[in-house]
A = this chain, B = another copy of it.
Amino acid sequence: MLTSIYLIAITAEAMSGALAAGRRNMDLFGVAVIAFFTALGGGTVRDILLGNFPVTWTQHPRYIYTTITAGLVTVLLARFMRHLNQLFLVLDAIGLVAFTVIGCNVALRLGYDTVVVVMAGITTGIFGGIIRDIMCNRTPQVLCHELYASVSLVVAILYLLLVHEGVSENITLLAAFSVGLLMRMVAIRWRVSLPVFSYSQASWE
């Protein structure tokens, strides 16, 4: 079931990437590249940081086709996208939780320290969006806005606690998705965010 959710998640992330590419007037090739990296870049960075070779998507051509197709289809659907805002906010939140859980699992399997496992989950969750924004020449939005990366952090910690307690996988996943989606929806609805750090002094470095 996590696989089905994963396919939905990478589709939603790829579409977000395609829209970002469109804001930079990229051509169809650029759209495909940004869609691919937005969807699969987080997992790629995780695999490289953990030395988990071969990188996951190189063994799953289906993921590659899915993200590139999703990116290109977005170009056709672009005019309808703003009517689907609500839907995509939900799909994006589902993706965030799914990526986080999957990332934690990869690091757990490789026997990394708990803090590294949490970081692997967060990396998988947010780095696709960071790469998207870097490649589109803007400051990574996930590091500035409403609770997003923080949701990934909470989900990762909750997931590890439940796994550690020996709770069954189904209940663990149910809890992770419930808490993650709820947090994210509350954050969007009431614009909840972490304190922002604003600094304007020129200084060393």
A34 to B126, alpha carbons, bound, how many Å?
13
Interface centre among A130, A149, A204 (most CB of B within 10 A): A204
Complex: chain B residue closest to A145, CB-CB:
B27
Query: Among the listed B116, B130, B140, B198, which residue makes an inter-chain contact with A61, where contact means beta carbons less than 8 Å apart?
Result: B116
Complex: chain B residue closest to A44, CB-CB:
B49
Q: Does A31 contact B (CB under 8 A)?
A: yes
Question: Within residues 166 to 203 of chain A, which ones have a CB less than 8 A from any CB in chain B?
Answer: 193-201, 203
Question: Within residues 16 to 62 of chain A, which ones have a CB less than 8 A from any CB in chain B?
Answer: 16, 18-31, 33-34, 44, 48-51, 53-55, 58-59, 61
* Chain B residues with CB under 8 A of A2: none
Q: Does A89 contact B (CB under 8 A)?
A: yes
Contact, CB under 8 Å: B82 / A201: yes
A31 nearest CB across to chain B (Å): 5
Contact, CB under 8 Å: B197 / A22: yes
Query: Among the listed B23, B48, B153, B199, which residue makes an inter-chain contact with A29, where contact means beta carbons less than 8 Å apart?
Result: B153
Question: Chain A's interface: helix, strand, loop or mixed, by majority?
Answer: helix
A198 to B26, alpha carbons, bound, how many Å?
7
Q: A29-B153, A195-B27 are in contact. Are A129 and B205 (CB under 8 A)?
A: yes
Question: Within residues 69 to 83 of chain A, which ones have a CB less than 8 A from any CB in chain B?
Answer: 75, 78, 81-82
> 10 closest Cβ contacts across the A-B interface?
A22-B199, A30-B143, A51-B53, A27-B194, A22-B197, A88-B204, A29-B149, A16-B205, A137-B139, A28-B194
Q: Which residues of A contact B (CB under 8 A)?
A: 16, 18-31, 33-34, 44, 48-51, 53-55, 58-59, 61, 64-65, 75, 78, 81-82, 85, 88-89, 92, 112-113, 115-116, 119, 129-130, 134-145, 149-150, 153, 193-201, 203-205
